[in-house]
Amino acid sequence: SPCCCGGANGGSSSLWPHPRSVREYASHRKKVHTVAWNCSGTKLASGSVDTSVRVWTIDEGGRASDVELKGHSDSVDQLRWDPKNEHLLGTASGDKTVRIWDARTSKCVHAIETRGENINIRWSPDGQHLAVGDKEDNISIIETRKCKALRTMKFPHEVNEMAWDPSGRLFFLTTGAGNVDVFSFVDLLKPPPAPPKPGDGSAAPAPAATLTGHTANCYCLEFSPSGERFAVGGADALVSLWDVKELACVATFARLEWPVRTLSFSHDSSYIAAGSEDPLIDVAHVATGKQALAVPVKAPSNSIAFHPKRMLLAFAGDDKDKMGRDEGSLRILGFPS
């Protein structure tokens, strides 16, 4: 069962009129790298350096039970649920596989081998494709029905998190140059002009647009549920907010001091949470840019995720116990205390 471990402070009570208490959930043997809610908000998944995935069923009051999904042989660095199917979970691991799991049976239904150690994963809005990125700057596009890689592209520079726009027509990719490259997804699927050498990824096509808003590497990218905005987090400690239609930067939030590693919009698109190596998670009120909430943390944040229907924020980081061992826990803010 979860334990209550304090609450959030700072920010404005008028901008955050919601519960602030935080509960801790411990089950992993090593630190948790990634957390994500399914589209209905009935389940929360967590992936860890201990190679396991856990799926948590959490009731209205915050009581939880969890099931372990076994199959990966290396760290699970990122996981995301199918946006259209509340039972299907995709996981990216350092073991050079991507796995798709059915939460109803807790079984792996597909294991797809990839070229490198995977660190990023994203579903297309219709659930028909997965994009997977590895440590060697390869991006693979996987067709989920046949579970087959349609194309693997090798980028000549650092590439990090990626996402489709809400229409599914544009594909956004954060880069080490401080830019976001925007591609036509149809163009990404076209066969490369020359056949690559066996074992090589094809060269990536030129982006349709390049968005410049950061002075250092861009790491993370999230679209708002409303589809009107997207946010980018970078090594310059900034969060930039962009208009989807205009592809123009409309605001920046500069309260953090360390590189922004992880972002999440609330279900109503009114808040954006940002995690870094700072001792807090900054929750910004999107309309005013002001800090609505500061969630204290004791270790660098690895992953944060707002619930798709309620004002609950799940988060996990590099927390250690008094003996210096990984805690292996995640926390959720927002249940009534």
Helix (H) or strand (E) holding 250: strand 248-253
Residue 202's pLDDT is 78
Taking alpha carbons only, the member of 312, 251, 316, 257 closest to residue 284 is 251
Q: How far apart are CA 98 and CA 112, in angstroms?
A: 5
Q: pTM for the whole thing?
A: 0.95
Residue 318's pLDDT is 86
Q: How far apart are CA 256 and CA 281, in angstroms?
A: 9
Return the residue matching tokens 């489709």.
164
Residue 260's pLDDT is 98
Amino acid, single-letter form, for residue 216: A
Q: How far apart are CA 222 and CA 272, in angstroms?
A: 9
Residues sharing a CB contact under 8 Å with residue 321, sequence separation 6 or more, in sequence order: 327
Per-residue pLDDT tens digits for 244-303: 999 999 999 999 999 999 999 999 999 999 999 999 999 999 999 999 999 999 999 999
Residue 71's pLDDT is 96
Residue 2's pLDDT is 56
Q: Which residues of the chain have pLDDT under 50?
A: 1
Residue 286's pLDDT is 97
